[in-house]
Amino acid sequence: MTSLGLIVLRVDETIEHEFREFIPPETARLHVTRIHSGDDLTPETIGAMKASLTEAAALLPPAADFDVVGYACTSGAAHLGSETIARLVKAGVPTRTVTEPLSAAVAQMQALDIHQIGIVSPYTDAVANTLHDAFRTRGINIEDTVSFNESDEGTVARIDPLQIAHAARMLARRSRLDGVFLSCTNLQTAGILESLAAELKMPVLSSNHALAWHMKRLAGLS
């Protein structure tokens, strides 16, 4: 059976639950490890994860023969860069491929022919700006954003999905978009994606769904 690895932030309370929905046990074996991360999400705490990434990857079972390992931090992917993340993960565990939510979201947007997006995120400006720049360098235009301006990860995990959906509706009303991206693996979004996409009549993507989709695609799963 296909083996997938997931490196999750110490403070993340959401992605493991949502991944079990996106990747059921009969689809693949999912092994999870944690990486030390700060209680607050800032450029400094994100950068500090670089030193721990290889060690976190090394805690995944080395004999699992991983098809894909995912690093589950959207803003971390923007700050550290996909090449650096892949190198550090592969230094810790044998895997054919490495991905993260930023590369995954871009791949999903390209597959859906999305070029102009609105972003809903919990980030402060210092974190959000780097993410927006990273999308733009990959050919995705950021037309509009709504942020909860929250750095405390414990609070991020408890943002009501109804508030997230309301923010997405605001973006769709006031801007010309091809799609909406709900950014952050700690946001609770799995339960609103399908209904919100139907309501807004455009794709609504999330960090967790994009990462799961990309990992399955890279592993050759349907």
Q: What is the pLDDT of residue 43?
A: 82
CA dihedral of 27, 74, 138, 4, whole degrees rounded to 10: -20
Q: CATH 3.40.50.1860 spans which residues of the chain?
A: 104-206
- For residue 91, how far is the Cα from the chain centroid? 22
Handedness of CA 92, 62, 18, 216 (dihedral sign): positive
Q: What is the pLDDT of residue 39?
A: 84
Asked if CATH classification 3.30.70.100 holds for the domain at 104-206, the reply, yes or no, is: no
pTM: 0.96
Q: What is the pLDDT of residue 60?
A: 98
**Please, what CATH class does the domain formed by 3-102+209-218 belong to?**
alpha beta
Q: What is the pLDDT of residue 151?
A: 84
Give the other-Cβ count within 10 Å of 25's Cβ: 9
pLDDT of 26-69, one tens digit each?
A: 999 999 999 999 888 788 888 889 999 999 999 999 999 999 99
Residue 192 predicted with pLDDT over 80 = yes
Task: Determine the average pLDDT of the residues in 151-162.
Answer: 94
Q: CATH 3.40.50.12500 spans which residues of the chain?
A: 3-102+209-218
User: Quick check: 208 and 98 in contact, CB under 8 A?
Assistant: no
Q: Where does 56-115 show beta strands of DSSP type E?
A: 66-72, 95-99
What's the chain's average pLDDT? Answer: 96
| Range 88-111 burial, b when 16+ CB lie within 10 A, else e | bbbebbebebbbbbbbbbbbbbee
User: Quick check: 221 and 27 in contact, CB under 8 A?
Assistant: yes
